[in-house]
């Protein structure tokens, strides 16, 4: 009798073989692009040229740029432009009956629906497998996906996975998820770090040791991995934590190297530019810039120089691991996660996240800017927490005497529409939706 993992692996690759091995072919292509950088660059250049021509000849929106062959000749694309005229981006060369619909997370506004051709969906699955292999993940390995994923339970079970919805994080959720990890010998966790961190702290508080689990890796995705979170997860589960940067509509954009904190850009699938905040010009390595992405596989709705709304810092030097290609030194988050003090100065998010990190008894927190000088600190704590005075003093010292800080204790940190719980929010940059 074969194990569940092996049976899952045989079913998955057997089904792919019967379809002509499309996932295998895309997976091999991704591997070769990273293993042979010259081939990867050449292939990416060919795909970029093909995408630009495809967009100009088959979409209404890009028709006026026909004949342009350089990426820099195209405008930076804002999400609101697509939302205003989605039909203008839909290629006339695709069969609309066979499109795969995806949407943005809706974390900071109304979700936006986009379309992929089936080949793009297959490519994204291959990229997931490739980057998962960096942690030793393979099809059939038992994993838990801690994320809001409507309708995804059946598909995950077919892959030997468990869907864990973190919409409500309380003691019952923590205990249930703790038992799931132990009783099912889960090997990998993929999910929001703001959900995995309290789970790790809870397990340690219950006296669990790393050898009580079977975890071999944690992939932190969809949110910033703030200081202290990696260390807490590793201490609880005894496994490496890797940060993955991506977007629902784009797939994986970069993943952290296991040997270094740099993020390797997914050059096999995307062209990633870092542009200045106030102009569409490239920033120098070491400077913070807007993450602007061209999706080389966006055939149904071409995304050319798409402004993700994220901020990152590029590296001048290659990664010490020896893998060539561009790397990001840091993913800084989103513009709506930037806090300013009452004088209008930007406050480093690392300074904000360092204020509560060493205080015992905090399950979760969220720091929100609500006005130029007004701030809200939401705290989810255990009954023994008595450090509010220390926390207030730290934030007051950081933001200055003019800052008005309201501390509010909550049963749970309210999630955004996507299920994410950013540690830092700026409601001035993105007012909360009503209703």
3-state DSSP assignment of residue 272: strand
Of 9, 7, 40, 269, give the one whose Cα is nearest residue 137.
Answer: 9
Is 181 domain-assigned?
yes
- The predicted pLDDT at position 253 comes to 96
Rounded Cα gap, residues 177 and 199, in angstroms = 8
End-to-end CA distance of the chain: 54
365 and 394, same structural domain?
yes
Structurally, the chain folds into a number of domains equal to 2
Flag whether pLDDT at 110 surpasses 70.
no
Examine residue 433 and state whether it is found in any structural domain, yes or no.
no
Last residue of a domain, one of 307, 334, 361: 334
Same domain flag for 384 and 305:
no
Q: Is residue 4 part of a domain?
A: no
Q: Quick one: 390 and 330 in the same domain?
A: no
The rounded distance, in Å, linking the Cα atoms of 122 and 170 is 37
Q: Which two tokens stand for residue 434?
A: 């009503």
Pair 327, 357 in one domain: no
Token couple for 385:
């927490």
Residue 159 lies in a domain: yes
Q: Which of 35, 25, 47, 56 is nearest to 126 (CA)?
A: 25
Contacts of 208 (CB under 8 A, 6+ apart): 178, 236
Which pLDDT does position 420 carry in this prediction?
A: 65
Structure confidence at residue 434 (pLDDT):
45
The token duo for 204 is 């340690």
Helices 118-133 and 22-35: angle between axes, nearest 10 degrees? 50
The domain that holds 32 is classified in CATH as 3.40.50.12780
Judge if 213 and 304 occupy the same domain.
Answer: yes
**Long-range contacts (CB closer than 8 Å, 24 or more residues apart) made by 260-264:** 260/319, 260/320, 260/321, 261/329, 262/315, 262/319, 262/327, 262/328, 262/329, 263/312, 263/327, 263/328, 263/329, 263/331, 264/319, 264/323, 264/325, 264/326, 264/327
Closest CA to 325 of 370, 269, 275: 269
Band of pLDDT at residue 155, cut at 50, 70 and 90: low
CB atoms inside a 10 Å sphere around CB 188: 22
Picking from 283, 301, 334, the residue at the C-terminal end of a domain is 334
Statement to judge: residues 188 and 262 lie in one domain: yes
Together in a domain, 149 and 263: yes
pLDDT, position 111: 66
* Residue at 431 is within a domain: no
Is 348 within the bounds of a domain? yes
Burial of residue 199, with CB atoms counted within 10 A of its CB: 0-12 exposed, 13-18 middle, 19 or more buried: buried
CB 256 within 8 A of CB 269: no
Q: Residue 91's closest CA among 116, 59, 63? A: 59
243 forms beta bridges with 220
pLDDT digits (tens, 9 = 90+) for 295-350: 999 999 999 999 998 889 999 888 888 888 899 998 876 655 678 899 888 786 66
The answer to whether residue 160 scores a pLDDT higher than 80 is yes
Residues 6 or more apart from 325 whose CB is under 8 A from it? Answer: 34, 37, 40, 264, 265, 267, 318
Phi, psi of 349 (to 5 degrees): -60, -25
Q: 372 and 322, same structural domain?
A: no
Which residue, 415, 402, 375, is CA-closest to 391?
375
- Whether 6 maps to a domain, the answer reads no
Do 364 and 298 share a structural domain? no
Say if 376 falls within a structural domain: yes
- pLDDT higher than threshold 90 for residue 166: no
Pairing of strands 327-334, 404-409: unpaired
HSE-CB of 170 using CA atoms within 13 angstroms: 6
Identify whether residues 330 and 344 lie together within a single domain. no
Residue whose tokens read 């007012």: 431
Residues 303 and 404 in one domain: no
pLDDT of residue 245: 92
Which of 334, 368, 402 is a domain's end point? 334
Q: Do 127 and 145 share a structural domain?
A: yes
Q: Which residue has the tokens 């360092």?
A: 354
Q: What is the pLDDT of residues 247-264, one digit of tens each?
A: 889 999 999 987 777 899
* Percent with pLDDT over 90 in the chain: 61
Strand partners, 113: 103
Task: Write the CATH number for 351.
Answer: 3.30.300.30
| Structural domain that includes position 378 | 338-426
């Amino acid at each position: 009798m074969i194990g569940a993992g092996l049976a899952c692996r045989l079913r998955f690759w057997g089904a792919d073989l019967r379809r002509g091995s499309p996932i295998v072919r895309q997976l091999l292509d991704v591997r070769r692009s990273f293993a042979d950088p010259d081939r990867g660059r050449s292939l990416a250049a060919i795909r970029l040229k093909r995408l630009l021509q495809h967009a100009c000849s088959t979409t209404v929106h890009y028709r006026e740029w026909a004949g342009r062959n350089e990426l820099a000749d195209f405008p930076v694309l804002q999400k609101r432009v697509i939302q205003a005229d989605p039909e203008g981006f839909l290629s006339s060369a695709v069969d609309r009956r066979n499109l795969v619909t995806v949407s943005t997370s809706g974390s900071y506004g109304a979700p936006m629906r986009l379309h992929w051709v089936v080949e793009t969906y297959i490519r994204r699955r291959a990229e997931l497998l490739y980057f998962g292999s960096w942690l030793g993940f393979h099809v059939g390995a038992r994993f838990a996906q801690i994320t809001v994923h409507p309708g995804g339970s059946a598909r995950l079970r077919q892959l030997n996975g468990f869907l864990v919805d973190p919409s409500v994080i309380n003691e019952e959720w923590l205990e249930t998820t703790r038992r799931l990890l132990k009783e099912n010998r889960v090997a990998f966790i993929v999910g929001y770090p703001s959900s995995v961190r309290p789970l790790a702290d809870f397990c340690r508080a219950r006296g669990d040791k790393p050898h009580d689990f079977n975890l071999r890796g944690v992939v932190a995705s969809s949110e910033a991995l703030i200081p202290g979170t990696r260390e807490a997860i590793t201490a609880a589960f005894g496994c490496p934590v890797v940060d993955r940067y991506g977007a629902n509509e784009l797939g994986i954009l970069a993943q952290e190297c296991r040997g270094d904190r740099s993020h390797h850009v997914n050059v096999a699938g995307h062209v990633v530019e870092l542009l200045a905040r106030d102009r569409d010009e490239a920033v120098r390595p070491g400077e913070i810039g807007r993450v602007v992405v061209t999706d080389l596989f966006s055939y149904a709705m071409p995304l050319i120089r798409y402004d993700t709304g994220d901020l990152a810092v590029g590296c001048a030097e290659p990664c010490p691991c020896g893998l060539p290609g561009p790397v990001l030194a840091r993913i800084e988050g989103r513009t709506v996660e930037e806090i300013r003090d009452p004088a209008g100065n930007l406050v480093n998010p690392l300074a904000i996240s360092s204020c509560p990190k060493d205080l015992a008894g905090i399950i979760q927190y969220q720091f929100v800017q609500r006005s130029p000088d007004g701030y809200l600190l939401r705290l989810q704590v255990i009954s023994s927490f008595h450090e509010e005075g220390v926390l207030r003093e730290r934030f007051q010292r950081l933001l200055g005497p003019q800052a008005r800080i309201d501390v509010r204790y909550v049963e749970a940190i309210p999630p955004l529409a996507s299920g994410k719980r950013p540690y830092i929010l700026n409601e001035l940059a993105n007012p909360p939706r009503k209703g």
